Amino acid sequence: MSDIAIRTTGLCKSYGDKTALVGLDLEVRAGEVFGLLGHNGAGKTTTVNLLTTLLQPTGGQMVIGGQDGRRNPDGVRRIIGYLPENVQFYDNLTTLENVRYFGRLSGLRRPDARIGQVLEYLDFTGHENERLGTFSKGMRQRVGIAQAILHEPAVLFLDEPTSGLDPQGVRKLREIIVGLNRDLGMTIFMNTHLLSEVTKTCTSIGVLTAGELRYHDSLEATIGAFPDESSLEDIYLHLDSPRVA
């Protein structure tokens, strides 16, 4: 994969008369953990759904891992993993049955050996034969990560991955995200509201306001560029305010 994992140029999305994303120009380097911040309705889920080819853009270009997302969406799908905000599982099926189902959708013919490795990596061994209907939100998210990384994607997209988790669940998921980046070299693109997560997990951030990317830089540069703001929350509120051009 080239040095740039995700590049968008003038990427737009409208739903009828409603413009959700206005000419997004973005580059995320391979090996980064990028956090897309924004208020409710800013366009974060729309952005992820475009980049994962679940939605068709109304304009612009996007290249993910060297694959042209408009001309070759299947090529993009082969190299990405996606954990949506509300991943749907079959509650009456077991972990193994659910993940196997997703594995076959990804084209893995004999996924069980790989499922075993992934569940072990996620510290989930022992829950293979338990039904999803009995799991906490944190356990379901781990199954969600398992299905998303089964085919060893180069780029992993996460939509509000810690939403609704208790503090232990947040910490566990954070460790997993950081580990996938550090141990397996995955580029991670995550939407989040939780600023505390950004400081502990991300290497770069973007701020989306009403469908426009208002800001994009490394976390380190962001903290250095706003010496008068005492926390990332203050920086975010500054960037997300209408005063910023």
Ligand X SMILES: Nc1ncnc2c1ncn2[C@@H]1O[C@H](COP(=O)(O)OP(=O)(O)OP(=O)(O)O)[C@@H](O)[C@H]1O
Interface residues toward ligand X, by CB under 6 A: 15, 18, 20, 38, 40-46
| Cα of 63 vs its chain's centroid, Å | 16
| Shortest CB 93 distance to ligand X, Å | 28
CB nearer to ligand X: give 115 or 207.
207
Q: What are the Cα distances from residue 97, in Å, to 64, 93, 138, 152, 153?
A: 30, 6, 19, 19, 21
CB nearer to ligand X: give 99 or 198.
198
Tokens, residue 40: 């409710």
What residues have CB less than 8 Å from 68, skipping those under 6 apart?
Answer: 61, 62, 75
| Shortest CB 48 distance to ligand X, Å | 8
| Shortest CB 45 distance to ligand X, Å | 3
| Shortest CB 14 distance to ligand X, Å | 9
CB nearer to ligand X: give 32 or 159.
159
Distance between CA 183 and CA 237 in Å, rounded? 33
Strands (E) across 30-168 are located at: 33-38, 59-64, 67-68, 80-83, 155-159
CB nearer to ligand X: give 45 or 98.
45
